[in-house]
Amino acid sequence: MRLFVSTLIVCLGASLEAVAQENGGVGQSLSSQASDPTASLMSFQFQDFYAFNLHNSDQSQNILQFRAAIPFNLGGVNNIARLTLPSFTESASGETGLGDATLFNLAAFDQSWGRYGVGLVALLPTGADGLSAEKWGLGPALGFVARPSWGLAGLFNQNILTVAGDDDRPDVNISTLQPIVSVGLSEGWSVGTSDMTFAYDWDRDEFTSLPLGVKVSKLTKIADRPVQWQLSYERNFYDEGTGPKDTIGFTIKLLVPK
């Protein structure tokens, strides 16, 4: 099962940093919002994650991933709906095709120190044969992001528990933790943690993903539209099975501020 299934272009002037201050909280720049999963900012991102080293395998893995985040207001509360759809173009097994989609909705609440959110996450068995868990999953999601003067710091948690699916396939009962650290630099640049996500399998009673990674981001414009570019490197220290060991990620995120 794959739950998730995240550079470096020319300079943007300081004027872009002042765009849409109302989005995602007073005083939060567009560059900061782009790295904040709780911000009320519409975005569409295309990612490529290439694992050139796998544990216990001489193969490689490549995942192309689409993710859309759509903010909306319900009963006076800001919400963010997010869809993630991965596609495997290379895998250790040789199988290629769509992976399982994840969908979550987060209700976000602004605070003087930042923002916190609570919601639900769902696993949808949309994957091709050999790449899908063949299970439907559902569970709580929660997280927070603080905004110190230097950038962002937070933690995001998702929990997926099997609710239906193929009885002949193993259940999916997994919790994930994603630390969020982003340090804002000048002219739209920022550095921080990659999309590294620690995964705990409740059935196996162990962590099945132990990553450590860094990311460099740059905010610029294409045809007067704000775009964030990201380049990341990640090492996964969980060495059982044939999961990724070293992964390079490239992301282009199209931002749609209010």
| Chain segment 72-110, per-residue pLDDT in tens | 999 999 999 999 999 999 998 889 999 999 999 999 999
Mean pLDDT of the chain: 88
CB burial of 94-119 (b: ≥16 within 10 Å; e: otherwise) equals eeeebbbbbebbbbbeeeeebbbbeb
9 in a domain, yes or no?
no
Task: Tell me the residue range of the domain where 108 lies.
Answer: 14-256
179 in a domain, yes or no?
yes
CA 221 to chain centroid: 22
User: Domain with 36 in it: what CATH number?
Assistant: 2.40.160.40
Per-residue model confidence as pLDDT tens digits over 33-62: 888 888 889 999 999 999 999 999 999 999
What token pair was written down for 122?
Answer: 């769902």
Alpha-carbon gap, residue 42 to 68, rounded angstroms: 8
Angle at 80 between CA 77 and CA 83, to 5 degrees: 155
Give the chain's domain count.
1
2 in a domain, yes or no?
no
* Residue in 248, 250, 181, 190 with CA at minimum distance from that of residue 217: 190
- Three-class secondary structure of residue 232 per DSSP: strand
121 in a domain, yes or no?
yes
Mean pLDDT across the stretch 156-162?
Answer: 97
Alpha-carbon gap, residue 203 to 162, rounded angstroms: 11
Contact 66, 85 (CB under 8 A): yes
1 in a domain, yes or no?
no
Q: Is the pLDDT of residue 142 over 70?
A: yes
Q: pTM for this one?
A: 0.85
